[in-house]
A and B are shown apart, each in its own frame.
Chain A
Amino acid sequence: MSAADPHYVAKTFMDHLPILQVVIPLISAPLIIFIGNRKLAWIIAMIASAAAFVIACLMLAQVKDGSFISYHIGGWAPPLGIEYRIDALSAFVLMLISGIATIVLPYAYTSVKSEIPKRLHTLFYALFLLCLTGLLGMVATGDAFNVFVFLEISSLSTYVLVAMGAGKDTRALTAAYDYLIMGTIGATFFVIGLGLLYMTTGTLNIADLADRIANQGANRTVQAAFTFIVVGMGLKAAMYPLHHWLPNAYTYAPSAVTTFLGATATKAAIYVLLRFMFSVFSPGFHFEDWTLYLIFIPFSLLAMFAASFVAVFQTNLKRMLAFSSIAQIGYMLLGIAMLNATGLSASIVHLVNHGMTKAALFMGVGAMVLYSGSAFFDNLNGLGRKMPFTGAAMVAAGLSLIGVPGTAGFISKWVLVQAAFENGWWIIAIAIMLSSLLAVIYVWRMFEVLYLTAPAEDCTATDPPLPMLIPMLILAFACIWFGFDTELTLGSARVAAEGLLAGSAGMAH
């Protein structure tokens, strides 16, 4: 917003929103540790993430017209200083991440009590905030190296959060360990890519990088950088076949963590992918186009089918949802690979719609696990009937996962199919529909277990306490609401997609 004024210095509270977005949760995390009180920990985390959510909404309102906010940390102008840059895409993803965090926390209050030993509670909330900080930072920053730093902050805290599931099932430890190895490799690839870029351009500011790469054109170094960044981030985004860390991590992590990660972590990685593919490199480069066509499309299709088939045969609901997430990421990457505005909007809107949908489903499973002790289908028989509200929320979200008209999931798949038609890719459009049919099968299996089998005779399950139930119902309601009112979701996604396709906005001096 300050692009015209060369000596612009941030003065008002509103001007500081981009940094506050990241700093509030960042400061709150150590605060929790210092205070060390379990009750207060939750309250502080709640306030911090709610504040982050409000900030994200305020910023989205400012940039929804397609403009961007450039914030210079400490008043140092980029490319020397670090820049935070918020445009429609980043504000939209920030809103998703902070929104999910805010809605997961009330749920976590009860869920964490039953799943994690008491002494770890303060630590849990501190790590939760750190993870949130990392994810928000990755999205808010306009500096490539900063992305890596925040990526590591979020990853390291995530490994610990996943490992906290060990209280219930020690396999969480191996899951966290695998995730750590894989995540570290991904981050290393990413930083190697950045190193190569720095080597050839001498800058790390994203807008500046874009200018310089455009000036000097493609060469082997740039191409190698691109490859490392794409594969590294693809790993964090659980792109097929780099997804093997995901099912176990989601299955054995505590329910609140699964919900939060399932809805946000891979989405932030996809955001970074988008940012680098369109705002640093640009689709004008042959190597980028062909990477999309020859790597992204085949593996996306593979993800859509292979992961869905695995989901169809799963016997553990949490694991089934995890594999479904891998398939859904296939849709998002496919939308990117279409390289048109509609496809990008589809990816971006699916990012958010799928985030809400999966969060609602994972919350539902978490609530059921509170009573059943495990997420195996055999232990969930008939629980939909015993827990009517939880069941209803899962039905709504399940329909959205399939993409039934009138739900959020339908909107994103519909736009995706439209994008395929725009390119004349009939077969891809048919493939999208076919893989949706697989979703019908696995979601139906869930309905069958929840409703059509008889509950155990001594089953005493009832709906969970309100703090768990209300977030779930809000998300389920959102799945339906955004199936009809697409102004906020699809509208913002369209602006964001156009912004991306327009290429880098250039340096703001």
Chain B
Amino acid sequence: MFDVIPTAFIFFVAAAILLTLPKGNLRGLLLLIIPIIAAMQVWNAGFGSFAQIGFFGFELELMRIDGLSRIFTLVFCLAAFLGNLYAWHVRDTVQQIAALLYAGSAIGATLSGDMITLFFYWEGTAIASVFLIWARGTEGAYHTGMRYLIMQVASGVILIAGVALFYRETGTIAFDRMTLGSPGTWLIFIAFGIKCAFPLLHNWLQDSYPAATVTGTVILSAFTTKLAVYALARGFAGTEILIYIGTVMTLFPIFFAEIENDLRRVLAYSLNNQLGFMVVGIGVGTELALNGTASHAFAHILYKALLFMSVGAVLYRTGTSKASELGGLYRTMPKTAIFCLVGAASISAFPLFSGFVTKSLTLTAVAEEHRTIIWLCLVFASAGVLSHSGIKIPFFAFFAHDSGLRPKEAPTHMLWAMGITAFLCIAIGVYPAPLYAILPYELHDAHPYTMGHVVGQLQLLLFALLAFAFLYRKGIHPPEIRAVNIDTDWTYRKAGPAVIYWLSWVISSIYNWIVGLLVNTTSRTIKRLYNSHGPEGRMARNWPTGAMVLAIAVLLGATLLVNFLV
């Protein structure tokens, strides 16, 4: 049955042990050790399948390690470690358990070799993670959590429906590459798409991540969407439609990120944009592209966590993450500011930072397929990343207009967590060979630091920086920071918001009309049902004895008729 204990179970057992420990550093230690044990187990196991179990006549595969699942498992362990270190100060049992179960479920899903196991862990991530949102304890967080849970559970339900159909079509539940076409595969695809925040299915992400606790957001940002990226890479690599979906994903969040004031929500939009790059890579589906996706996911989890950590630290110290209320914090939080800059440089793909060495793989893969328009879109999106994540986040939080706030530097454990993450971001950027070595496919002549790459990227970045500086200096910038934020945006993307507002007006009118219609129809239907089926309704009333007997006679007649006529 089991050659080894499935890695996910380590997390679940740890969650049980955690309950028996007293609140305090001992628990923190357990939370740090478990991801390390898990990572070592996966690293040492080698490739293969290690845990099968029978279930209602199905053979479930709980522990499939290959190149693709290993890199995702490892980065999940790493993210769990860093997230838990960042959350060292948290004394809330619910959040600690949720973090363990969440990470365990994500890892379990990554290692599952069949889609029934995948489904269980898929729902596991949904249920465990919602507690990180609810842990904030506000009314708003409760409702947001509810919305989040509904979306996530819906994704799971669609997944299992798809799996059932898929099983009927093909007779297998193995989780391998599928071809999009039949109803079953479409349902599975949509289920993955919801978790991956495809355009129009993405709202849960921006809705929920900013609503979680300071530490919860860091943990949330690592798992759910990357699990979906893994699932897509496993199941739908080379599916053409993903290229277009991914491209749209890279583009549309830019505009929203530009006009958003809450920095954590800006990061949530930028997360969506980053996912787009990975989805494009999956859609291209060549070995190089999949390597690009995997490595980008690896690097992305780190720098996105770093950005969420730094903004989280600001929120932790000042109580707000709104751009308009922040500014000038570099005076008292210099280390956090530096770490944030490292994260910003990484996400913007500056040479010598992690984003550069991973994003270039995806871009090269797209270029190799001669998809010029897609390539141009991605380049444009990269510039957008720089502007909303690379500049906006550190600039408005730590520099810009002095808000007068003088918070203390972030707590030591947060600094450690950010420091390690920042170190990793730079290390990958400077010396990418170890990361390249664990990619799912062998990488031939990977040299990110060619003249062309570096110069091209620097051009892009420097011109974007220049544009920002120019507009910030020359632009009409009123005294309030909030206005600068929106003003800058109006200056260099005048058309964008206007179009979006107009579109959103049109769409929301249509939406309201449809919803109104639905609500009206539903309430009318319920009223009608109540009239016929309610306690005094036709169907529920006590019939007079004669009427009952008549019913028998009618049924007897009908049955006789059927009997004699066929």
Contact = CB atoms under 8 A, between A and B. Distances in A.
Interface in B458-510: none
Contacts of B532: 309
A244 B551 CA distance: 9
Contacts of A374: none
Interface string A331-361: 0000000000000000000000000000000
Contacts of B534: 310, 313
Contact of A223 (B529, B537, B564): B564
Interface string A276-301: 00000000001100110011000000
A309 to B, nearest CB: 4
A349 B197 CA distance: 42
Q: Please give me the 9 A-B residue pairs with the lowest Cβ-Cβ distance, nearest first.
A: A309-B533, A290-B566, A313-B534, A287-B563, A310-B540, A223-B563, A244-B548, A310-B533, A227-B559
Contacts of A241: 551, 555
A223 B549 CA distance: 22
A227 B551 contact: no
Most buried by B among A241, A286, A323: A241
A245 B529 contact: no
Given A182-B548, A185-B549, A244-B543, A231 B559 contact: yes
B556 interface: yes
A248 B537 CA distance: 15
B516 interface: no
Contact of A290 (B168, B537, B539, B562): B562
> Interface size bucket, A side?
35 or more
17 contacts: A182-B552, A189-B556, A223-B563, A224-B560, A228-B556, A231-B559, A234-B555, A242-B548, A244-B543, A245-B548, A247-B542, A286-B566, A309-B532, A310-B533, A310-B539, A313-B537, A314-B540
A421 B168 contact: yes
A138 interface: no
A211 interface: no
A291 B540 contact: no
Contacts of A228: 556
Interface residues of B, number: 27
Contacts of A170: none
Interface of B: 168, 529-530, 532-535, 537, 539-540, 542-543, 545, 547-549, 551-552, 555-556, 558-560, 562-564, 566
Contacts of B548: 178, 181-182, 242, 244-245
A94 to B, nearest CB: 29
A224 B530 contact: no
Interface of A: 177-178, 181-182, 185-186, 189, 220, 223-224, 226-228, 230-231, 234-235, 241-242, 244-245, 247-248, 286-287, 290-291, 294-295, 306, 309-310, 312-316, 323, 421
Nearest to B548: A244
Contacts of A287: 562-564, 566
Contacts of B530: 313
Contacts of A244: 542-543, 547-548, 551
Given A189-B556, A245-B548, A313 B563 contact: no
Contact of A313 (B529, B560, B566): B529
A306 B563 contact: no
A228 B557 CA distance: 10
Nearest to A302: B539
Given A223-B563, A242-B548, A247-B542, 12 more contacts: A181-B548, A182-B552, A220-B564, A244-B542, A244-B548, A287-B566, A291-B562, A295-B555, A309-B539, A310-B540, A313-B537, A313-B540
B558 A295 contact: yes
Nearest to A181: B545
